[in-house]
Amino acid sequence: MTGWRIVIGADDAGYEYKELLRALLEDDPRVAGVVDVGVDADGHTPYPQVASEAARLVADGEADRGLLVCGTGLGMAIAANKVRGVRAVTAHDSYSVARSVLSNDAQILALGARVIGPELAKTLVDGWLGLQFDPQSPSSAKVDLIGEIEKEESA
Ligand code: RB5
């Protein structure tokens, strides 16, 4: 791993957190690059559109991971999970963030700016950058079963 390629996005409720988290990512040596899919300071793009744009970059292999922020983190994760191959979670504690990667191989973390404070958000993202899924782990077969559901649903 030469550094994470990360896509970051937010709706208007998450804009300020996106800005501070992007700065954190850009300063982190574990991050190779950050793509910001908005919104900007005056943006009002609805969260499903931001989430789907970010999720497609992950699904297409143009980003390794996505970090999304809305009011709760819930809508972003729901929308991102509609993109085939994407596993997105909302997590606001360090254990869940860790398990989202180590157990679920989730590529996208969605945070709620109305749920946690900015310092906790930064701490969670810092920990998230240090995590990597082990494809040899017993969790791998279970993650594969998630992909099987997608195949069954689109058959
Ligand atoms: C505001 O649109 C709010 O619903 C949104 O930021 C997010 O919390 C949705 O899940």
Q: What is the pLDDT of residues 106-151, one digit of tens each?
A: 999 999 999 999 999 999 999 999 999 999 999 999 999 999 999 9
pTM as predicted: 0.98
**What pLDDT is recorded for position 1?**
63
Whole-number pLDDT of residue 7 = 99
- Give the fold, CATH level 3, of 4-154: Ribose 5-phosphate Isomerase B; Chain: A, (3.40.1400)
Q: What local confidence, expressed as pLDDT, does residue 97 receive?
A: 99
Q: How far are the Cα atoms of 34, 55, 75, 100, 114 from residue 65, in angstroms, in the given order?
A: 10, 9, 18, 12, 22
Q: Is 70 in the pocket of ligand 1 (CB under 6 A)?
A: yes
Ligand 1 centre to CA of 155 (Å) is 32
Catalytic residues: 70
